Structure 1
Amino acid sequence: MPADLVPITRALLSVSDKTGLLDLARALAERGVELVSTGGTAQAIRQAGLPVRDVAELTGFPEMLDGRVKTLHPVVHGGLLAVRDAESHQAALAAHGIGPIDLLVVNLYPFEATVASGAPVADCIENIDIGGPAMLRSAAKNHAFVAVVTDVEDYAALTDELARNDGATSLAFRRRLAFTAFGRTAAYDAAVSTWMAGAYEEPTPRRRAFAGTLAQTLRYGENPHQGAAFYRDGSDRPGVATARQLQGKELSYNNINDTDAAYELVAEFDPATGPACAIIKHANPCGVATGPSLLDAYRAAFDCDRTSAFGGIVALNRTLDEETAKAIAEIFTEVVIAPDATEAAAAVFAAKKNLRLLVAGGLPDPARKPLTFRQVSGGFLVQDGDAGRVAIEDLKVVTKRQPTARELADLAFAWRVAKHVKSNAIVYAKDGATVGVGAGQMSRVDSTTIGALKAERMAAELGLGDSPAKGAVAASDAFFPFADGIEVLAGNGVTAVIQPGGSMRDAEVIAAADAAGLAMVLTGMRHFRH
């Protein structure tokens, strides 16, 4: 029967991350707790002038095999696993001279950091902790009597708990620590198995695990009746999970999802080749543009669909400057994310207390996309991230008319945007900016029509004589199954089209393009996004 309050009389400390170690050890020692430790942890405690016993003294065996074996011993695990109110367990401890361990403080070898540093395989393997996870699992299993701490963030909570309970821990506190410990070992094993599958080139391992660390509890999910939380996976990919929030209220579930979509899209455009801006609404781009300046790029993106841009997410591929910040601040914007922001730009937003400003410190590499996964009933789907790109020189011209240099540049631009639009996707573009986007329709013709209607609406709002779709190019994320989509594009004034090809009716589609005088290029690659 688990006791509520269990006094801490002996603690085993073995940590890779020494942050806060000495303060914790000192607090325990002041309460008369016997400290037991290993290797570098024991050395650090001893150098601080605190009494500590080596694990080797308890086990009667020295650390061996370059430290690979030190805590894998019955004296350690018996002290952690013994049920305190089981007579047979107590008799076994007494018979073998094993003392109980009331508190375990362990954090693990820095495997994830070693992998992230690009270390060779041998170094990564050497940083796979064995004894640490084994002890954590033993202590967590026996949380009815043993407290287990694996996160530095819990050191303060532990000392507060001991202060409240005169040197003891409560059952509720030990339970919380236990599931935190099991979560850590699960995440650790997930990191090891995922890395190993990649290192040894196994694309579909028999078992697949994903793990994360809680970043924040969210007010709600997609809708107010849904609970939600945000977890970080520990990778260093620049983006919403790693960015610093300089101002604004807490990000919501939808903010995080849309900001990620916006930043991954704008990263398609290398800042070395020029400024770019993407505006996202409900995970779809409502405007994307490049330009001679960041301000020009923002204005061109905004002019694609001013109505949808209201309350949207703005992503930039260069440092946010004051003039661009002033333009963005003219309408209600939920989030702005950029690699960095000038002090003057941040000052502009300071008056907009609800606007969130994030700086990511860099752009994600569009050529290296992490695995994506999606839950379905009874399982989940896993795939490589869509890092597919097509160079202009790889495009195949299939029509009688060759595209002009300007058309080729706009086709390449539109193709990069289409990759980030929900299927079925049609993107109208001109002069390095979207002028109409049709997204997420069951029919490709409907997406084609919607994109043109948006272009016409903006023509009226901007006082243009003609729809900007006239003279534009268009990109389709997948092939045209029939010629009708091409006919609609031609009717809306499009002059060139980029699409994957591969339809059984490619010949009919190409013939329709020729009949309309369009140039058409094929990529041989599609970009479905569901």
Structure 2
Amino acid sequence: MSIIPVRRALLSVSDKTGIVELARALAAHGAELVSTGGTAKALREAGLDVRDISDLTGFPEMMDGRVKTLHPVVHGGLLAVRTNAEHVAAMQAHGIGPIDCVVVNLYPFVQTVAKGADRDEIIENIDIGGPSMVRSAAKNHESVAIVTDPADYPALMAELEAGGTTLATRRKLAAKAYAATAAYDSAIASWFAFADQGETFPATLPVALSKGPELRYGENPHQQAALYFPQGGGRGIAQAEQLQGKELSYNNYNDADAALELLSEFKDGPPTVVIVKHANPCGVATADTLAEAYRKAFLCDQVSAFGGIIAVNRTLDRATAEAIVEIFTEVVVAPDADADARAVFAAKKNLRLLITGALPDPKRPGLTLKSIAGGMLVQSRDNGSIGLGDLKVVTKRAPTDQELKDCLFAWTVAKHVKSNAIVYAKDGATAGIGAGQMNRRDSSRIAAVRAKEAAEAAGWPQPLTMGSAVASDAFFPFPDGLLAAAEAGATAVIQPGGSIGDDKVIAAADAAGLAMVFTGMRHFRH
């Protein structure tokens, strides 16, 4: 029989949202209410007749509530196949009554961890009886409805009005229930592995994500895509509030994330603007104001900036907003935007404005995952950084103070450029960016060409690469890439070092009068 009337319902919830209304609906349609602890108390206070679980089992709740529903009377009532004669006989022999509906949500384990509770409190918030009931009810969904989410209460009440739960609904609820227990167990396993045991790569990597919006399509129109969120929330582009504009696409999210990750490197710095196109920065600058930083970043590569993603590390103001809307921009990302800036953007209905609040910490720990055929690559986040004290001067000429500032700025940007990456920078702004080439020499040349084109577009007498610092995300294996940078006008170089050809590269730098520092740290980004 596909429609099952609810004659007995077991309710045991940590989140009491909507439970009284649901219980009233169940009682109004003839269901006996069985409940535990705090849930039973809440229902009685609402004037409902409730039977304690201890009355059903014949055993009191014990051990601080650790043992209350782990009993054959409960699980027999959930698991018995109603059309199996042996099961029915066993129920009759042992005084077990069927349970037609279970409403359970689990102890708030994730929330307990998130609030910084001590280990004992965290352990006490590992639910045992709840997941057991959920799994039993879900397994026997042919006869039992299992509800784990208050969002499903209205649908259940609607079916009660129609006479009982349908098989289609019970199957849907069972699938959702197993996903809920899987996510719950994943959160517990993650806490044990990472926080409690300090493992980096546990033998089994637990991953649980909650589905957000489905996107219009993936990287290309023939691909499907959706956004998923981690348990316990997070801070990043996925959590940003969209104030206006069209729905975000897969590529919008990917590019906006790249912009925000780079911008976060400057979260405590001066006003900074990042412009990204196809997940690569095409202009980055700092200045005394956001408007001036945007102008400097935009002039680095006006062609690529068209249709790009712009991220800023300060509250957006009118002057910056007015400059941004002079060309077509897909997405603007900011911690906030004042009323004047919002009014400027409102006139551009297709422009997406994302408000992030506080910027993420660039040094936060974590893992990154990348799927490959037949498996998954997992690594720790590239949260490495360097300061002046980490630099080793390897050339006869040491860099000036300004060259050192430009070197560190270029190095920070290069960390977020696809390899092979070359970044020229001068006076707190990128002068030319070469990304994703198969050899470092071509990246140097492409960056120089873009700098030359930018100078011509701006009407400057010479490219900004003249007198600039150049950063390479990995070592120069041969002098050719470094010499290409020198030809573009760079006077200082920052690179990891570590090549067997370092001596030749250093000699070439000395011959060209360049100052060069080694970081000892590489920043490949694929």
Fold conserved (TM > 0.5)?
Answer: yes
Give the deviation of 1:525 after TM superposition. Answer: 0.8
Q: Which residue of 2 aligns with 1:219?
A: 216
Are 2:172 and 1:152 equivalent residues in the alignment? no
Q: Which residue of 1 aligns with 2:5?
A: 7
Give the deviation of 1:520 after TM superposition. Answer: 0.9
Are 2:261 and 1:264 equivalent residues in the alignment? yes
Give the deviation of 1:118 after TM superposition. Answer: 2.3
Work out the CA distance in 2 between the residues paired with 1:131 and 1:303. Answer: 62
The DSSP-based 3-state class of the residue aligned with 2:276 is strand
Are 2:427 and 1:431 equivalent residues in the alignment? yes
Give the deviation of 1:499 after TM superposition. Answer: 0.9
Are 2:257 and 1:243 equivalent residues in the alignment? no
Are 2:400 and 1:404 equivalent residues in the alignment? yes
The percent identity for this pair of structures is: 64
Selected match of 2:132 from 125, 131, 134: 134
Q: Which residue of 2 aligns with 1:57?
A: 55
Are 2:31 and 1:33 equivalent residues in the alignment? yes
Question: What is the number of residues matched between the two proteins?
Answer: 525
Matched to 1:88, the amino acid is E
Are 2:474 and 1:478 equivalent residues in the alignment? yes
The DSSP-based 3-state class of the residue aligned with 1:413 is helix
- Where structure 2 has 5 or more consecutive residues not aligned to the other structure, the ranges are none
Q: Which residue of 2 aligns with 1:442?
A: 438
Work out the CA distance in 1 between the residues paired with 2:340 and 2:36. Answer: 51
Are 2:187 and 1:191 equivalent residues in the alignment? yes
Work out the CA distance in 1 between the residues paired with 2:447 and 2:174. Answer: 54
Matched to 2:29, the amino acid is R
Work out the CA distance in 1 between the residues paired with 2:285 and 2:158. Answer: 54
The 5 Å alignment of 1:29-178 reads 29-163=27-161, 166-178=162-174
Give the deviation of 1:162 after TM superposition. Answer: 3.0
Q: CA 1:344–1:25 in 2, change beyond 3 Å: closer, same or farther?
A: farther
- Write out per-residue CA displacement over residues 266-314 of structure 1, whole angstroms, 9 at most, x where no aligned residue: 010033x311111111111111111111111122111111111111111
The DSSP-based 3-state class of the residue aligned with 2:239 is coil
Are 2:352 and 1:359 equivalent residues in the alignment? no
Give the deviation of 1:223 after TM superposition. Answer: 0.9
Q: TM-score, normalised by structure 1?
A: 0.96
Matched to 1:96, the amino acid is H
Work out the CA distance in 1 between the residues paired with 2:447 and 2:288. Answer: 25
Give the deviation of 1:83 after TM superposition. Answer: 1.2
Selected match of 1:17 from 11, 15, 18: 15
Q: CA 1:460–1:235 in 2, change beyond 3 Å: closer, same or farther?
A: farther
Matched to 1:392, the amino acid is L
Which deviates more from structure 2 when the two are superposed, residues 104-113 or residues 482-491? 104-113
Give the deviation of 1:518 after TM superposition. Answer: 0.9
Give the deviation of 1:455 after TM superposition. Answer: 0.9
Q: Which residue of 2 aligns with 1:337?
A: 333
Give the deviation of 1:6 after TM superposition. Answer: 1.5
| Aligned partners of 2:29 and 2:160 also within 8 Å | no
Matched to 1:68, the amino acid is R
The 5 Å alignment of 1:304-383 reads 304-383=300-379
Q: CA 1:160–1:280 in 2, change beyond 3 Å: closer, same or farther?
A: farther
Selected match of 2:199 from 190, 198, 202: 202
Work out the CA distance in 2 between the residues paired with 1:450 and 1:285. Answer: 14
| Aligned partners of 1:287 and 1:301 also within 8 Å | yes
Are 2:312 and 1:283 equivalent residues in the alignment? no
Q: Which residue of 1 aligns with 2:270?
A: 274
Work out the CA distance in 2 between the residues paired with 1:274 and 1:125. Answer: 44
Work out the CA distance in 2 between the residues paired with 1:346 and 1:32. Answer: 54
Give the deviation of 1:241 after TM superposition. Answer: 1.5
Give the deviation of 1:224 after TM superposition. Answer: 0.9
Give the deviation of 1:27 after TM superposition. Answer: 2.0
Runs of 4+ aligned residues of structure 1 deviating over 4 Å after TM superposition are none
Matched to 2:312, the amino acid is L
Work out the CA distance in 2 between the residues paired with 1:439 and 1:222. Answer: 20
Give the deviation of 1:109 after TM superposition. Answer: 1.3
Q: Which residue of 2 aligns with 1:498?
A: 494
Matched to 1:342, the amino acid is D
- Write out per-residue CA displacement over residues 113-152 of structure 1, whole angstroms, 9 at most, x where no aligned residue: 2222222222222222211111111111111111111122
Work out the CA distance in 2 between the residues paired with 1:118 and 1:440. Answer: 42
- Write out per-residue CA displacement over residues 395-414 of structure 1, whole angstroms, 9 at most, x where no aligned residue: 11111111111111111111
The DSSP-based 3-state class of the residue aligned with 2:354 is strand
Which deviates more from structure 2 when the two are superposed, residues 137-146 or residues 236-245? 236-245
Work out the CA distance in 2 between the residues paired with 1:392 and 1:48. Answer: 66
Work out the CA distance in 1 between the residues paired with 2:185 and 2:198. Answer: 18
Matched to 1:371, the amino acid is L
- Write out per-residue CA displacement over residues 73-99 of structure 1, whole angstroms, 9 at most, x where no aligned residue: 111111111111111111111111111
Work out the CA distance in 2 between the residues paired with 1:355 and 1:27. Answer: 46
Matched to 1:70, the amino acid is K
Matched to 1:66, the amino acid is D
Work out the CA distance in 2 between the residues paired with 1:227 and 1:90. Answer: 47
Matched to 2:42, the amino acid is A
Selected match of 1:255 from 252, 255, 258: 252
Matched to 1:334, the amino acid is E
Q: Which residue of 1 aligns with 2:409?
A: 413
Give the deviation of 1:206 after TM superposition. Answer: 0.9
| Aligned partners of 1:237 and 1:364 also within 8 Å | no
Matched to 1:419, the amino acid is K
Give the deviation of 1:156 after TM superposition. Answer: 2.0
Give the deviation of 1:159 after TM superposition. Answer: 2.0
| Aligned partners of 1:471 and 1:494 also within 8 Å | yes
Q: CA 1:392–1:161 in 2, change beyond 3 Å: closer, same or farther?
A: farther
| Aligned partners of 1:116 and 1:236 also within 8 Å | no
Matched to 2:38, the amino acid is G
Give the deviation of 1:167 after TM superposition. Answer: 3.1
Matched to 1:312, the amino acid is G
Selected match of 1:229 from 226, 229, 247: 226
Work out the CA distance in 1 between the residues paired with 2:159 and 2:308. Answer: 45
Matched to 1:254, the amino acid is N
Work out the CA distance in 2 between the residues paired with 1:260 and 1:348. Answer: 24
Are 2:418 and 1:422 equivalent residues in the alignment? yes
Are 2:525 and 1:520 equivalent residues in the alignment? no
The DSSP-based 3-state class of the residue aligned with 2:413 is helix
Work out the CA distance in 1 between the residues paired with 2:431 and 2:158. Answer: 59
The DSSP-based 3-state class of the residue aligned with 1:69 is coil
Matched to 2:295, the amino acid is R
Give the deviation of 1:330 after TM superposition. Answer: 1.6
Q: Which residue of 1 aligns with 2:289?
A: 293
Work out the CA distance in 2 between the residues paired with 1:137 and 1:64. Answer: 22
Are 2:460 and 1:464 equivalent residues in the alignment? yes
Q: CA 1:162–1:354 in 2, change beyond 3 Å: closer, same or farther?
A: farther
| Aligned partners of 1:367 and 1:388 also within 8 Å | yes
